[in-house]
Amino acid sequence: MICKPSKLALGMAALALPILATPASAATSFIANSFYDQQHPHSKYGYIEWAEKVRELSGGELQPDVYTGTVLLAPRASLQGIRDNVVQVAHHAAVYTPSELPVANAVQELGFNFADPLIGILAVTDFSLNNPTQLQEWKDVGVVYLGAYNTPPYVLFCREPVRTLEELQGKRIRTAGSTVSAWVEEAGGIPVNVPSSEMYSGLDRGSLDCASNAANDLIDRSLWEVAEHTTLLPTGMYWSGPQWGFNPEFWAGLSDEQRDVFKQATAQAMTRMIVQYLGTADAALEEAKAKGNNVYEPGDDLMASVEAFREKALTNIYDTAREKYGLTNSEAVIDDFLATYEKWVELVGNVDRTDEKALAELAMREIYNKLPADYGVY
């Protein structure tokens, strides 16, 4: 079910512990949290529908109580909420906790260079479930990673037209992640790192001139009301951190069969989520235009600035991972991710990109069925 905000719910959530089954027939209730609102793809498909699939596949043994929005946990608090067992599973964006998740954030630096969310979500999941350095990080911070999210390429929503480098000068732009922030600064803008939940208020009151996020937020978060000008400038994809991060004690307390249910439900929800997310983003642009918004292609100089920065970022990625995030094996980690991405370019090329069932089966075959039986049991 979708839990509604209430003082009682908040008070109970602070003391929440998983109710683990004792007899084999008893239900295992747990709290699942996504800080996005109910209509956002990460919540709608990644938590609400996912929870229904978990119930169905478990025959009612697993009973998720789903919270959406920020009533239970603020975006920056999700990781601590998982670790402290306030929730048993949650979405967490690692860009909000770079000091705790340096490996995930180092790999996220590559997001500015890629533009295929379907390949991205599968490659990130594969890497995050298998790379030894990344796996150690999940263990160290107290989370069991089960699957990725991936956004469509971010675009710019602005209060005034921003189509050229000249129009970008001095603009305060909400960004997520250091690479795009570095590009904004180099291009003459002012990067502002605030959660996506604060975009509307920032644009409304003028503390932000622009926000960078996926196009669906024009409608899902009503940004069309406060940002009448959208520029289709690709400013990277985001995937850092788990879409489904589990509390380790909760995960270890499950049976093998219950953990298999979560793997199956996650494979299905993850592939459905990204296919639907892409469709939602395209539809949102059309709906915003119908409401009177302007949608622009970027000017040549603005696009050239992004392309030049991509090349520089890729050239410097090993140094960035080592010097900024402290990865002593930066070459091994980054090369593993790049190889995994290329692997999925080939794998996805053999499947209908809109066939959610076929994509879920691919994810099960190539990722989840290959995990050891004791994956995540620390």
| Alpha-carbon gap, residue 12 to 234, rounded angstroms | 42
Other beta carbons less than 10 A from residue 172's beta carbon:
18
pLDDT of residue 10: 38
- By the 8 A CB rule, do 243 and 157 touch? no
The pair of three-digit structure tokens given for residue 58, joined into one six-digit string:
């478990």
The CB density around residue 65, as the number of other CB atoms within 10 Å, is 18
- pLDDT reading at 4 higher than 70: no
> Per the domain annotation, does 338 fall within a domain?
no
DSSP sequence for 266-314: HHHHHHHHHHHHHHHHHHHHHHHHHTT-EEEPPPHHHHHHHHHHHHHHH
Query: Is 289 part of a structural domain of the chain?
Result: yes
pLDDT of residue 177 exceeding 80: no
Is residue 176, in this structure, part of any structural domain at all? yes
What's the CATH number where 194 sits?
A: 3.40.190.170
What would the pLDDT profile of 99-132 be if each residue is shown by its tens digit? 999 999 999 999 989 989 999 999 999 999 999 9
Flag whether 45 is in a domain: no
pLDDT in tens, 275-330: 999 999 999 999 999 999 999 999 999 999 999 999 988 899 999 999 999 999 99
Task: Please give the backbone phi and psi of residue 88, each rounded to the nearest 5 degrees, phi first.
Answer: -100, -20
Pairwise CA distance, residues 78 & 323, whole Å: 27
pLDDT tens digits, residue range 73-96?
999 999 999 999 999 999 999 999
Q: Mean pLDDT in the chain?
A: 92
Q: Could you tell me if residue 245 is inside a domain?
A: no
Helix (H/G/I), strand (E/B), else coil: 309: helix
Q: pLDDT at residue 8 above 60? A: no
Whether the predicted pLDDT of 23 surpasses 90: no
Residue 122 lies in a domain: no
264-284 pLDDT per residue, tens: 999 999 999 999 999 999 999
pLDDT of 44 over the 50 cut:
yes
**Beta-sheet strand order (sheet of 144-147):** 62-68, 28-34, 89-90, 244-246, 144-147
Query: Which H helix or E strand runs over 155?
Result: strand 155-158
In a domain, 18, yes or no: no
362 has pLDDT over 80:
yes
Alpha carbon 204 to chain centroid distance?
Answer: 25
Whether 288 maps to a domain, the answer reads yes
| Contact indicator for 33, 73 with CB cutoff of 8 Å | yes
Cα separation, 13 vs 31, in Å, equals 8
pTM here? 0.84
Mean pLDDT of 21-39: 79
Higher pLDDT, 72 or 195: 72
Q: Which pLDDT score is estimated for 5?
A: 42
Quick one: CA dihedral 50, 54, 55, 57, positive or negative?
positive
Instruction: Give the residue from 135, 159, 182, 146 showing the smallest Cα distance to 324.
Output: 182
The whole domain housing 302 covers 155-237+283-313
Q: Which residue did the predictor score with more confidence, 371 or 37? A: 371
Q: CA 352 to CA 360: how far, in whole Å?
A: 11
Report how many domains make up the chain: 1
Instruction: Give CA–CA dist 324/105, Å, rounded.
Output: 10
